[in-house]
């Protein structure tokens, strides 16, 4: 994040006309992987703007060569400078947490990964069991970020999470939700460090309340579904990436354009595109390098899908 502040950008988001004159956020000369601060971090911790999501079959059992490919996704994340890995108790029926935990342990990557997971349980007892299970599956005594998944029994689980944070077992806590209900995440913004919700070129509701409030309250944002779970890439299949996007933003694929759109919003800390393919992981991380779109370029990107 370079030339404008989060607040300046966000006040502009309210009116697209105001955005048009904003300067570019990043420059061609600055080719490092863009990092964003975690606002509530006491030691000014920063995260790379592109991470990895594991919701889609990442932990599902498959042939050994497919499992090796998925393990390689995690290794590429780290090798190319990424850090954020988002999983959850429910993904692949618990298989994602367990697989991620195994790969991280076998490849000795624990200190190189910002490990986020979630529990989605009704009732205190079930919540407690899931909390213990997550430590075991992830094979770690500490979890960087624990979410209440889909706002299920948030008021019950959040005090428990905050207690574990005070004891040093969680570093940060948050609440996640996608879909129509996600605006209700604003309820807990005074208590949490992170929120996670859906945001993409054709799903921009979050620009109205969630993103501005997160910036105002110093809550870090992980963006789920930044590629629209395949919906958006399907729409441009067979088309060529516009020449202006290659020249001005260095984007060589539509996936990169979608990711650059998401992470160019200054209230976003990181996007967590899901992939089971090492090549896609490398391509996605590359979107976090080089220039990010300014306000005008953001609208040009969005228009590819929404015009």
Ligand X SMILES: NC(=O)c1ccc[n+]([C@@H]2O[C@H](COP(=O)([O-])OP(=O)(O)OC[C@H]3O[C@@H](n4cnc5c(N)ncnc54)[C@H](OP(=O)(O)O)[C@@H]3O)[C@@H](O)[C@H]2O)c1
User: Which tokens belong to 194?
Assistant: 């992170």
Query: Which of 39, 226 has the CB closer to ligand X?
Result: 226
CB 196, min distance to ligand X, A: 5
CB 5, min distance to ligand X, A: 27
Q: Which long-range contacts (CB under 8 A, 24 or more apart) does 32-36 make?
A: 32/289, 33/80, 33/81, 33/82, 33/285, 33/288, 33/289, 34/1, 34/263, 34/288, 34/289, 34/292, 36/1, 36/220, 36/268, 36/269, 36/270
CB 28, min distance to ligand X, A: 22
Q: In whole angstroms, how far apart are CA 218 and each of 49, 152, 245, 267?
A: 17, 23, 31, 9
Query: Which of 9, 58 has the CB closer to ligand X?
Result: 58
Query: Which of 38, 198 has the CB closer to ligand X?
Result: 198
Nearest to 132 by CA among 96, 91, 160, 172: 160
| The total number of residues written for the chain in this structure | 307
Binding site for ligand X (CB under 6 A): 53-56, 86, 149-150, 176-178, 196, 224-230, 233, 255, 272-277, 280, 283-284
CB 29, min distance to ligand X, A: 25
Query: Which of 154, 284 has the CB closer to ligand X?
Result: 284
Query: Which of 260, 294 has the CB closer to ligand X?
Result: 260
Find where tokens 């694929």 sit: 253
Backbone phi, psi, residue 79, to 5°: -60, -30
CB 220, min distance to ligand X, A: 14
């Amino acid at each position: 994040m370079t030339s404008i502040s989060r607040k300046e950008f966000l006040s502009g988001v309210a009116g697209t006309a105001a955005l048009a004159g904003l300067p570019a956020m990043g420059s061609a000369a600055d080719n490092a992987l863009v990092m964003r601060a975690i606002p509530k971090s006491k030691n000014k911790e920063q995260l790379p703007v592109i991470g990895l999501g594991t919701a889609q079959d990442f932990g599902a059992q498959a042939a050994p060569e497919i499992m090796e490919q998925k393990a390689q996704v995690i290794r590429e994340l780290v090798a190319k400078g990424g850090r954020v890995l988002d999983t959850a108790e429910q993904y692949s029926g618990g298989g994602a947490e367990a697989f991620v935990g195994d790969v991280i342990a076998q490849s000795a990557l624990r200190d190189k990964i910002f490990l986020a997971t979630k529990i989605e349980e009704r009732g205190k007892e079930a919540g407690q069991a899931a909390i213990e299970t997550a430590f075991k599956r992830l094979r770690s005594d500490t979890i960087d970020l624990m979410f209440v998944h889909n706002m299920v029994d948030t008021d019950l689980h959040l005090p428990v999470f905050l207690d574990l944070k005070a004891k040093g077992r969680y570093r940060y806590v948050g609440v996640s939700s996608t879909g129509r209900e996600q605006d209700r995440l604003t309820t807990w913004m005074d208590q949490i460090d992170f929120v996670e919700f859906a945001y993409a070129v054709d799903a921009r509701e979050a620009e109205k309340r969630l993103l501005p409030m997160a910036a105002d309250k110093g809550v870090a944002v992980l963006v789920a579904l930044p590629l629209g779970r395949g919906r958006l890439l399907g729409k441009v299949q067979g088309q060529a990436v516009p020449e202006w996007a290659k020249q001005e933003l260095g984007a060589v694929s539509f996936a990169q354009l979608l990711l650059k759109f998401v992470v160019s919003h200054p209230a976003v800390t990181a996007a967590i595109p899901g992939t089971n393919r090492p090549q896609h992981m490398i391509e996605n991380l590359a979107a976090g390098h080089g220039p990010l779109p300014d306000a005008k370029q953001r609208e040009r990107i969005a228009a590819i899908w929404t015009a």
